[in-house]
């Protein structure tokens, strides 16, 4: 179970690093499903926030690499990922649906954190020493 959790974190890390660099370098036009140009302010904000997505990816990598010592951060990773999905859901409800390719991303961002936290919880429950009364 620990190795599965580790590889899920590595996968999230890889996706976050690649997509974050994609937006940092290519701006709003690099986002899948983008239909032409956007105003400079939107592009500026996306490039700014892409750094935080890159940092999240690096953090996930660091936790995965040191999972035994850094597992305390796994619930935080799951929560941030879930809140990203909530942000997409709010956008979908208030502004409208994004490009088709981003709808599965939203679903993944809402479901995968629950799976991650479940694995984390089971792993910690298994590794807790049992307390016996004398």
Each residue of 9-66: pLDDT tens digit?
A: 999 999 999 999 999 999 998 888 787 777 899 899 999 999 999 999 999 999 999 9
Query: For the residues 85-96, what does the mean pLDDT come to?
Result: 97
Determine the Cα angle at 40 with ends 36 and 41, to 5°. Answer: 120
Question: Residue 51: which residues within 8 A CB-CB, separation 6 or more?
Answer: 20, 24
How far, in Å, CA of 10 to CA of 59, rounded? Answer: 10
Domain positions in the chain are 2-127
Distances in whole angstroms, Cα of residue 127 to Cα of each of 52, 74, 80, 120, 123: 32, 15, 25, 11, 6
Q: What pLDDT does residue 37 have?
A: 73
DSSP 15-32: HHHHHHHHHHHHGGGGST
Q: What pLDDT does residue 129 have?
A: 58
Query: For the residues 76-83, what does the mean pLDDT come to?
Result: 97
Q: Would you place residue 127 in the very low, low, confident or very high pLDDT band (cuts 50, 70, 90)?
A: low
The pair of three-digit structure tokens given for residue 104, joined into one six-digit string: 């599965």
Is a pLDDT exceeding 60 seen at residue 132? no
Q: What pLDDT does residue 125 have?
A: 82
Q: Would you place residue 85 in the very low, low, confident or very high pLDDT band (cuts 50, 70, 90)?
A: very high
């Amino acid at each position: 179970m620990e190795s599965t959790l580790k590889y899920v974190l590595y996968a999230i890390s890889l996706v976050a690093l690649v997509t974050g660099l994609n937006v940092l370098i290519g701006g709003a036009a690099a986002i899948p499903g983008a239909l032409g140009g956007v105003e400079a302010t939107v592009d500026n904000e996306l490039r700014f926030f892409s750094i935080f997505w890159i940092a999240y990816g690096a953090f996930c990598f660091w936790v995965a690499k040191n999972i035994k010592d850094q597992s305390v951060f796994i619930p935080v990773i799951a929560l941030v990922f879930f809140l990203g999905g909530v942000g997409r859901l709010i956008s979908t409800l208030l502004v409208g649906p994004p490009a088709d390719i981003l709808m599965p991303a939203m679903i993944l961002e809402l479901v995968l954190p629950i799976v991650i936290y479940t694995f984390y919880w089971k792993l910690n429950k298994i590794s807790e020493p049992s307390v016996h009364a004398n």
